């Protein structure tokens, strides 16, 4: 048992309930090389040529050091935002550099948006499961998160309508919908075209702001594009993007596309939070997008992940119990598995790590305690061989566990 925290009585109310997760402690162990980690969310940056990145970095520091080494403005460098409009164009979104705010990855965008919009007790509607980092960002501002179920076509509009009607009957007016419409983290699915319109019609009917988080849009296994929500309802939808999955999370470059009134508030909050984005990483990311064939890299990332995803799914087919439900990802970096009762993926994790394989238990992806039988598996980082080996280890463990649980009558 750890000793009582002597600072506990000094913390703000928002921090009183913060507890160190046991999963975090396990993951510290899980970084050992003999463990196949299907737990993380790292891209495989070996797709890039590090020498080229090094050359770009050296060139911008040598030539633009007097700017790259200094403070910048709260909105982000103009040249950086200009290049980001090119990324948006590739997603089918027309925007001007002045419409954007650069943030420390998509994560800071979520933090700043929650800080701007969420009072304690406000309701956020989100997919269930949803991105665990969004739940952490939001929880600092003490909202109530209400989930809407998904199927293989993304959010189910009828279920969303039910949830919103139920809230209205309770006298609750939800503040926003948070959604990852493309290759969702963790569920791996994408919202179909028809449903995009249906979801936005519901947002209209209930006067919801929509936060459209799109880190994975371009990592589509069939190289398809889908209509961004923000193009359908620009005054209602705030769009969050990032270079973490198409270039590198090491440059920590995310951005928000928002109506100007909201953009101005975000710039003020950004400055209060950390003064400004790093001019150095912005200069490097800007020069990278401007001088390198980044769309080819995106294609290379996507091909690699598609192959690894196929390997993972085919090995799961063999190694996991037939009752396991496995999502067929449309793209991105993750698949989502629901195991049969009475498995508890949280309780199973320590033994998985003993068996030299790691995953993320499902419960962290829900704000309401669901997800006990679910798990997220990452296919973007480990090699195909390691993925097959990891899935075999996991399948064996799950088989043993089910046998044991059934033998003891649960």
Q: Report which of 196, 252, 260 is spatially closest to residue 228, judged by C-alpha positions.
A: 196
Under the binding rule (CB under 8 A), the answer on residue 66 touching a second copy is yes
Supply φ then ψ for residue 343, to 5 degrees: -60, 140
Contact 360, 346 (CB under 8 A): no
Query: Does 58 engage in binding with a second copy (CB under 8 A)?
Result: yes
- Contact between 181 and 237 under an 8 Å Cβ cutoff? The reply is no
Q: Give bridge partners of residue 254 from the DSSP assignment.
A: 103, 242
Q: Does 1 bind a second copy (CB under 8 A)?
A: no
Task: Kindly tell me which of 320 and 359 has the beta carbon lying closer to a second copy.
Answer: 359
The reply to whether 75 sits near a second copy by the rule CB under 8 A is no
Q: Strands, DSSP E only, in 118-236?
A: 123-128, 144-151, 154-155, 176-179, 209-213
What span, in angstroms and rounded, lies between the C-alpha atoms of 191 and 200? Answer: 12
Q: Would you give the binding string for a second copy spanning residues 151-190, x where CB under 8 A is met? A: ------------------------x---------------
Site string for a second copy, 243-282 (x = CB under 8 A): -x---xxxxx------x-xx-xx--xx-xxxxxxxxxxx-
The window from 43-51, 154-162, 185-193, 391-399 that contacts a second copy (CB under 8 A) reads 43-51
Which of 146, 225, 156, 231 minimizes the C-alpha distance to 195? 156
Helix %, strand %, coil % for the chain, to 5? 50, 15, 35
85 lines the binding site for a second copy (CB under 8 A)? no
CB of 71 to a second copy, least distance (A): 5
Instruction: Tell the smallest beta-carbon distance from residue 56 to a second copy (Å).
Output: 9
Token pair 């997800």 is found at: 371
How many residues belong to the chain?
410
Furthest-apart CA pair in the chain: how many Å? 70
CB of 312 to a second copy, least distance (A): 20
Task: Give the nearest distance from C-beta 267 to a second copy in angstroms.
Answer: 9
Q: Which of 23, 35, 36, 68 binds a second copy (CB under 8 A)?
A: 68
Nearer to a second copy, 259 or 342 (CB): 259
* Near a second copy in 340-399, by CB under 8 A: none
d(CA 298, CA 7): 47
Give the binding-site size for a second copy (rule: CB under 8 A): 81
Among 37, 85, 108, 182, binds a second copy (CB under 8 A): 108
Name which position in 78, 82, 115, 389 contacts a second copy (CB under 8 A). 115
Q: Mutual orientation of helices 260-274 and 105-117 as an angle, nearest 10°?
A: 110
Using CB under 8 A, pick the residue from 131, 141, 305, 359 that binds a second copy.
Answer: 141
In the window 279-308, what residues touch a second copy (CB under 8 A)?
279-281, 284
Can you say whether residue 185 is alpha, beta or left, with left for phi > 0 and alpha for psi between -120 and 50 degrees?
beta
Task: State yes or no: residue 117 binds a second copy (CB under 8 A).
Answer: yes
Residue with Cβ nearer a second copy (108 or 190):
108
Q: Which of 6, 17, 33, 322 binds a second copy (CB under 8 A)?
A: 6
Does the footprint of a second copy cover residue 209 (CB under 8 A)? yes
Extract the tokens encoding 129.
Answer: 């499961």
C-beta of residue 332 within 8 angstroms of C-beta of residue 182: yes
């Amino acid at each position: 048992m750890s000793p009582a925290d002597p600072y506990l009585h000094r913390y703000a109310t928002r921090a009183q309930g913060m507890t160190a997760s046991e999963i975090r402690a396990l993951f510290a162990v899980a970084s050992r090389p003999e463990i196949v980690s299907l737990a993380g969310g790292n891209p495989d940056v070996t797709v890039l040529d590090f020498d080229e990145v090094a050359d770009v970095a050296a060139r911008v520091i040598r030539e633009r050091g007097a700017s790259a080494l200094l403070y910048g403005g709260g909105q982000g460098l103009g040249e950086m935002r200009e290049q980001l409009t090119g990324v948006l164009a590739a997603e089918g979104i027309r925007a001007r550099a002045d419409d954007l705010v650069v943030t420390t990855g998509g994560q800071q965008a979520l933090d700043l948006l929650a800080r701007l919009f969420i009072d304690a007790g406000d309701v956020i509607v989100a997919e269930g499961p949803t991105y665990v980092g969004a739940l952490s960002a939001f929880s600092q501002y003490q909202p109530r998160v209400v989930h809407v179920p998904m199927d293989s076509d993304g959010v189910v509009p009828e279920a969303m309508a039910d949830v919103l009607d139920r809230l209205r009957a309770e006298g609750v007016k939800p503040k926003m919908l948070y959604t990852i419409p493309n290759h969702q983290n963790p569920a791996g699915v994408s919202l179909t075209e028809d449903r995009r319109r249906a979801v936005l019609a519901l947002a209209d009917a209930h006067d919801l702001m929509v936060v459209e988080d799109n880190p994975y849009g371009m990592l589509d296994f069939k190289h398809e594009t889908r209509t961004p929500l923000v193009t359908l309802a620009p005054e209602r939808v705030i769009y969050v993007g990032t270079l973490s999955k198409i270039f590198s999370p090491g440059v920590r470059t995310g951005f928000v596309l928002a109506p100007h009134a909201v953009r101005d508030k975000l710039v003020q909050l950004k400055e209060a939070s950390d003064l400004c984005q790093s001019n150095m990483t912005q200069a490097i990311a800007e020069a990278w997008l401007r001088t390198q064939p980044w769309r080819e890299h995106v294609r290379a990332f996507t091909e690699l992940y598609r192959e690894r995803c196929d390997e993972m799914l085919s090995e799961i087919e063999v190694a996991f119990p037939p009752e396991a439900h496995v999502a067929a990802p449309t793209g991105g970096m993750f698949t989502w598995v629901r195991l049969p009762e009475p498995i508890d993926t949280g309780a199973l994790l320590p033994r998985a790590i003993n068996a030299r394989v790691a995953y993320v238990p499902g419960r962290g992806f829900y704000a309401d305690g669901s997800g006990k039988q679910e798990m997220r598996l990452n296919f973007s980082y480990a090699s195909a061989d390691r993925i097959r080996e990891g899935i075999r280890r996991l399948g064996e463990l799950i088989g043993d566990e089910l046998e044991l649980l059934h033998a003891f009558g649960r």
